[in-house]
Structures are given as structure tokens and as C-alpha cells.
Amino acid sequence: MPEYLFLHELIFKKPAGTSRGVLHTKPSWIFNYELPSGAHVQTEFPIIPGLSPEYSDHQQYESKLLEFLAEVKPFIMVWSQSDFFTNPSFSAAMAKWSGFPSFVFGLEVLLLGIRAQGKKVLFNTPFTRQQSSIPINGLVWMGALADMRTQANEKIAAGFQTVKLKIGALDWPQEFMLLQELRAHAPATELTIRVDANGAFSPSEIGSVLEELARIDIHSIEQPIGAGQIDQMRELCMHTPVPIALDEELIGVNSLAQKRALLEHIKPQYIILKPSLHGGLSGVREWIALAEERNIGWWLTSALESSIGLSAIVQFGACYAPTIPQGFGTGGLYTNNFPAPLRIQEGNICWISDSHKD
């Protein structure tokens, strides 16, 4: 059966600013697999340079990925015919590669695609039957203050009831001024505002930032300080006036015991789950179960995947029938994305393909 792997450099329509720098392109490796029927299944192995733990450079990543694919190839068809999430053989094989979350994620998307015989519907849910939609937040990328203001107003005008702004790269008083403007536009009962610091603040300065955010009813702040400072993060979560969500803190925390220990030590209000960074879909299932046992809130978000990975993440998330806004987009960031059976309508993401035909 013909198969091939290729690098696809996703090109941003406009530079995407984060506290870690500005992104112009984003690499993903696409793997094509042909079924005996002649149908093709594509999956994605997505990374974010500087954030994905398994990535050093293109050559290193692709070499390791080819090694991974060669190792799992004999089992692909067997795993695809089982509930691989609960298959001990699959779990044991993935344990070896737990430090490569994008590998686990890409393989899981491939297995789901094979099980679906190359069709787009990976999970049969009310969402893919076009009977429900999923609320999402509108993301405002970092940029000049005027640009961020324009982005936020466009999201609100488009019907988003939750907006998320990335903070920490500009002068904080300027960023706070913009947040105040948005809150003046609508109270918290009408507009939910989330912020994502990507670890930009130091433990010594974050206290005053949290107090200011609390004054304008900010819903939550993601990763206020850098990952790895678990004692400081625990202290923050104990006393914060604004709910704290862990994001980068979860990267590299792979075993069930490690996940349990982290949640019990820090006791965050929320965790943000990205399958391609947090252990694949199976790893995210573990995080969700542990969080719900401890009354910790959670939501899913994409991590700049192409529409191949995004479609799988959205469908996986729909299995949980989420009511809290998720961090999904439709891949409209890129000039050279793949077609997607998704669209956004007034702050909700919807499935637009006929599940009986796709």
C-alpha cells in the first residue's frame, strides 16, 4: 500500500504574535496512507518550534518520525480495528514514545481515519450529525494595540461571547487599558474575557497583574508564570483573585502518576488541553478524567494544527458535549490550509459535511 510523508509549511495570512515571538510559518508533517479499498487517509504530525518537546530541528524531527512510523507500521491495521484508547498493546507501545506527543496524536488521527475508511466523520456524535454546535472563544493575537483592539471588536461583532487575548509581550499598562475598554463595552454577564500570558510574567510581578484583572471580571488567565515553578504556581492558585489555567505546565508530564501528582500539588482552577502537546487524544482523556475527579475545570484547544488535526480535535471534543467555550478555530489563519468540514457561526463551531455521505 503506497504511503508517503511530506513536510507542509503552513503560511500565516498575517504574522501571529505570541509572548514567545512572532510566527510567520508553522511546520506540520503530513502522512498519507492508502487503504486496500483505494481510499486515502491523511494524518498530521504538528509541532510548534520552541514549544514542542520532541522538536529540535526539521532534520532531527523527521528522522525520529520515520523511525516511529517504521516501528508502529506492523500494528496499524490491528490497532485501527480496536478501541485503541483502551488497547493494552497500543498503550504499551505509546508509553515508549510519551515524550513525543505529536507522534502519538498523529498516529491516533490515522487510526481513526482508517477506522472511518477514509471518511471525514471520525466520531458519530450529535455534532457530526449537524444536530449541535460547540461554543468557542475568539482569539486575539498579539500585535500593536490598535490591531488588537480591531481584532477584539471584530470578534465581538461576529457574535463571539468569549474572547481570549494573548498578553505579556507589550507594555502591561497598555494591555490592561485595552482590557478595560473591552469590559466597558459589555459586562461579564454579556462578554467573557480570557487572557493567556504564555508564562510571560515573573512571580514577583504577577500578583499586581492578577489584582488588576480581577477588578474587571476577567474569566481566567492561562499560564501566568513560566512552567516548572510548581511551588510558586501552587501558591498563586491558592490565593489568586482570578482563576488560573495551566497550559505549558502540562507539557512533558506524561505518566498517570505524574499527572495526578501535578494536579494535586498545584490544584489549579482549570487546565487547558492540547492533544498534540499533551499526550495525544489518549493523554488528554487521562487529563480530563483526573481533572473531573478533582473538580478542576478544563477545555480543549488546538495548537495551530492544519485542518486535518483540527477536525480530529474538534470531533474528539464533541464526544464530551462541552458547554464551556473551547479553543477551536477553523484554520482560517493560513493561506495554504487543507479543506475542512468546519465553519464558525456566531461564536460556535459547526460541522458542515453530511455525515451520511462523507
The span from the CA of 117 to the CA of 111, in Å, is 10
CATH number at residue 198: 3.20.20.120
Q: What is the pLDDT of residue 15?
A: 83
Q: What residues have CB less than 8 Å from 30, skipping those under 6 apart?
A: 5, 6, 7, 8, 42, 43, 44, 45, 306, 308
Residue 278 lies in a domain: yes
Cβ contacts of residue 147 below 8 Å, gap of 6+? Answer: none
Residues 108 and 176 in one domain: no
Residues 99 and 189 in one domain: no
> Cα–chain-centroid distance for residue 249?
14
Catalytic residue among 26, 155, 166, 259: 166
pLDDT, one tens digit per residue, over 276-312 is 999 999 999 999 999 999 999 999 999 999 999 999 9
Integer Cα distance of 191 and 302 in angstroms: 22
166 is catalytic: yes
Q: Which of 148, 253, 245 is nearest to 197 (CA)?
A: 245
Q: Are residues 139 and 101 in the same domain?
A: no
- 329 and 208 together in one domain: yes
What is d(CA 301, CA 275) in angstroms, rounded to the nearest whole number? 8
Using CA atoms, how far apart are residues 235 and 229, in angstroms rounded to an integer? 10
**Residue 252, pLDDT above cutoff 90:** yes
- What angle (nearest 5°) sits at the alpha carbon of residue 215, between those of residues 214 and 216? 90
List, for residues 13-34, the tens digit of each pLDDT value: 988 876 567 889 999 999 999 9
- Does any domain span residue 40? yes
357 is catalytic: no
Structural domain count of the chain: 2
- Residue 358's pLDDT band (boundaries 50, 70, 90)? very low
Instruction: Indicate whether 27 and 57 sit together in one domain.
Output: yes
Query: Is 125 within a domain?
Result: no
5 CA to centre of own chain: 23
Residue 356 resides in a domain: no
What is the per-residue pLDDT for 354? 53
Task: Kindly state whether residues 157 and 105 are assigned to the same domain.
Answer: no
Q: Residue 31 belongs to what domain range?
A: 3-115
Q: Would residue 37 count as lying in a domain?
A: yes
Together in a domain, 173 and 226: yes
Q: Same structural domain for residues 110 and 167?
A: no
What is the pLDDT at residue 355? 41
Whether residue 96 is found in the same domain as residue 142: no
Kindly give the pairing relationship between strand 342-345 and strand 348-351: antiparallel
pTM score of the predicted model: 0.95
Q: Which residue stretches of 274-340 are H helix?
A: 280-293, 307-318
For residue 109, what is the domain's CATH number?
Answer: 3.30.390.10
Whether 341 is in a domain gets the answer yes
Name the DSSP letter for residue 130. T
DSSP secondary structure code for residue 179 in this structure: H
Q: Which of 26, 120, 164, 274 is catalytic?
A: 274
**Is residue 207 in a domain?**
yes
